[in-house]
Amino acid sequence: MKIEHVSKFYPGVTALNDVSFEIKKGEVHALCGENGAGKSTLIKCIMGVIHQDKGTISMNYDGQWIVNSDAMEAQRHGVFANYQSVTIAPDLSIAENYFLGNQPRKGMFVDWRRMTEESRKVIDKFEMNVDPGAKIRELPIAMQAMVTISKISVNRDIRLVILDEPTALLENDKVDILFRFIRELKAQGVSVIYISHRLEEVMEICDSVTILKDGTYVNTLPIQEVDKDKLITMMVGRQMTDIYNIRHFEPGEELLRIEDFSDSKHFRDIHFELRRGEILGFVGLVGAGRSEVMRALMGVEKRISGDVYIRGKKVNILSPTDALEHGIGFLTEDRRADGCALGLSIKTNINMSSLDMISRCGFVNLRKETQRASELSKSVNVKTPSIDQLVGNLSGGNQQKVVIAKLLCRDPDILIFDEPTVGIDVGAKQEIFKLIERLTEQGRGIILISSYLPEVMGLSDRLIVMAQGRITAEFDSDELKTLTEEEVLRKASIE
């Protein structure tokens, strides 16, 4: 594929400016850059979802150089993309999603038996251990991501695959399966564009790397000629120290205590406490029940048993509104679906959970609404020309900051961050980690859930490991200093 002098402009914004590079047949080509560098815009141009304003994108199709006019034509020519957000039909089954628009036929009717059998082969290949008839909505978000990735393999004629943050929600074993699939594609002569902020993955799986910064082309290099530090410097334009090296503080009084938390199928007998100024990490494989425990704590999901104590006092939380009123803020793992309203402004998003605090007799104080949004967006460093900007126009890292600002509007003492750095670049990650440091310095307690072991192990004061819905290990700050990823994974894999 040739990308030649591609530019894309929006009102007041240059998303891409004269970008040119080539992707060879059978090559795994990394595309790196900070959020807002232009990566997502470029892959949408490649897929024909949007059209560049200048330049051409052409691909060699059986010896002829062609230009795809739209997304349907791109797919007919073997170009497929796995986008950062899960993009499958939630109310259809896995099998129906795999063969959506291309169902096998038996005469005039859909051959459901064949569709199930073919789906089972894909599921087994990717070691997902799920029923082909399971509805997407019923699956954990990490399994939904795996279904989206595996759906690509159903296609017969694959020439180019674009993987945008494919491992953001995957545990280590599923990453290994994905890499095996990528190597199979490469052996078949399929080209892969690989986008990831996890630079160790880029170093492991890619043959070459192109760096974008602020919509402009920086360089293309063989992967052997770069290391992580060089990539970061080219991406952000500055040296970066250990991003997990934040200050830790002596834990204070107990803020939260959970006793005997159980539900019907996701978790049982969960006990833990959180102290002021403490970062409590949770880790586990897909299906371990970490997010489900927190959703039950927030009143989003039902639980069979369990008591919640805040500052030693037993409270009854039946809904997210109750949780907010008791000083608990929850940053969900899927910010686009649960965390923010993409079609609304930054100002509206930041204030939407706390309008009651700036209202009187049913009327919102518009001056306070603007003032709070402006102050909080600055405090979390949302990069935007205006708080009236639509959240959907922001990069992933800035969307995440808007959700955090929304939580801080209610000044909670307890914050639950579920996968807070999914799909955001190393610079934005460091900003969020420094924000976590400031929050703990203020005496707030943080519960941190992350599938990325270096992150949760590097940031936590204590670490709780879950497997199959129960707690299998807990490590204190002294134990964390010598703890290895292998030891954590061993505890997370207990049947």
Integer-rounded Cα Rg, in Å, for the chain is: 23
Q: Provide CB contacts within 8 A for 135, sequence distance 6+.
A: 90, 91, 92, 93
Q: Answer whether 441's CB lies under 8 Å from 252's CB.
A: no
pLDDT of res. 198: 82
Distances from the Cα of 17 to the Cα of 20, 41, 347, angstroms:
9, 11, 30
3 vs 55: CA distance, rounded Å: 8
| Coil, strand or helix at 173 | helix
437 vs 435: CA distance, rounded Å: 5
Q: Answer whether 309's CB lies under 8 Å from 261's CB.
A: no
- For the beta sheet containing 313-315, the strands, ordered from the edge strand earlier in sequence to the opposite edge, are 270-275, 254-262, 305-310, 313-315
pLDDT digit string, tens, across residues 229-273: 888 888 876 555 567 889 999 999 999 999 999 998 889 999 999
Exposure pattern of 73-82 as b/e (b: 16+ CB <10 Å)? ebbebbbbbb
Rounded to two decimals, the pTM is 0.66
pLDDT of res. 495: 55
41 vs 47: CA distance, rounded Å: 10
pLDDT digit string, tens, across residues 311-343: 999 999 999 889 999 999 998 877 777 778 888
Q: Provide CB contacts within 8 A for 243, sequence distance 6+.
A: 426, 429, 430, 433
319 vs 329: CA distance, rounded Å: 12
Angle at 26 between CA 25 and CA 27, to 5 degrees: 90
Tokens of 70: 């739209």
Show the low-confidence residues of the chain (pLDDT under 50): none
Tokens of 79: 């170009």
DSSP-derived letter for residue 364 is E
Q: Answer whether 335's CB lies under 8 Å from 169's CB.
A: no
352 vs 71: CA distance, rounded Å: 35
Number of Cβ within a 10 Å radius of residue 21: 19
Exposure pattern of 432-450 as b/e (b: 16+ CB <10 Å)? bbebbbebbeebbbbbbbb
